[in-house]
Copies of this chain bind each other. A is one copy, B any other.
Amino acid sequence: MPPLDEFGLIRAWTEGRQTKELLGAAGVTLGIGDDAAIVAGESSQEWLFAMDTMVEEVHFRKETMSESDVGFKALAANISDIAAMGGIPKLALVSVSVPPHWTATRMKQLFDGLYSCANRYGVAVIGGDTTSAPNQLVVSITVVGNVEAGKAIRRDGAKPGQIVFMTGPTGLSAGGLHGLLKSAAEASHTTFKLPPIPSRLVQAHQRPSPSVKAGRMLLENGWGASLNDVSDGVASEAWEIAEASQVKLVLHEKLLPISGELASYAHDNGIQPLEWVLYGGEDYVLLGTADKQHEQAMKEHFRAEGIPLFIIGEVEAGIPEVAMETVGGINKPIPKRGYNHFSKG
């Protein structure tokens, strides 16, 4: 399937297929379309459900991730969806479809990484499935979390006048992937020692940290009005909020955080870092909107907790879109395009 319009396809496959009565009887508060679904639990809590799949040769290769990285990141990406609702991750189910070249030893290493992530975030792995596969490894994970009833931070809560914030710099994962692919390509036809890829970029790609703590702070203090995790890139996530909330998001080029390591690595490789900052995916920081009145308190609390917080723009009324005010003062639209692992590799 060409990676054309995933959301359009999902809509075509799923929209209007089930009655409101059926969904209500199952306790569904929010179904397909956000980072996680919301289901009524005990009266004071709701359940969150998210599912995310990683496929060999699509999301990772031997050259870009170790076995244990694959396990860690597959779960981290799922936990990130719970973080993006302000929830607490609790449970995971893991399905692996295993081709012949993934030996029992390699699979053990994959689960080492997966459990390292699970235990770090207090997630109980409670089930799953194991099948064989003809060619590529597929890891599919469902994560279940919970959240105070009615408090989950959805992507449809952005309102004109709000600030747009981000809980960390982006583009690092894409920079790390670029370096890993370049090293692999060059290693095969050179005996010179390559300059090392900054380890922070490699770490960002291979062992991302889902922003559970940041999500909880945004929820517990009532600050987060809308929220996404940056899995498909800043542009794509901002577009999702703009469309779900029916507003315009204006980002300011000069406010977008670019880490020193990223700027320097991009410069050395003749690449414009903004490309990675806006369109690189898998950084798993949170991007959201909040009422302007909370700005000061948010900054203080995030600083006190040692979590980065960047105010990068504001919400305006208007046809749903995302625009950027450049350093030169020009207002230009940001296309909706997302992240594609190996297309630019």
Contact = CB atoms under 8 A, between A and B. Distances in A.
Contacts of A238: none
B49 A93 contact: yes
Copies in the complex: 2
Given A10-B130, A111-B13, A135-B134, A51 B124 contact: no
A107 B1 contact: yes
A28 B99 CA distance: 31
Nearest to A115: B17
A191 to B, nearest CB: 32
Interface string A138-177: 1010101000000000000000000000000000000000
Contacts of A31: 124-127
A129 B142 CA distance: 10
A126 to B, nearest CB: 4
A32 interface: yes
The range of chain A's interface size is 35 or more
Interface stretch (A33-41, A201-209, A292-300): A33-41
A70 B135 CA distance: 20
Nearest to A140: B140
A17 B119 contact: yes
A104 interface: yes
Interface string A96-137: 011110111001101100010011001111111111111110
14 contacts: A1-B102, A1-B133, A10-B130, A14-B111, A14-B125, A22-B122, A22-B124, A51-B93, A53-B95, A53-B131, A58-B132, A58-B134, A133-B138, A134-B136
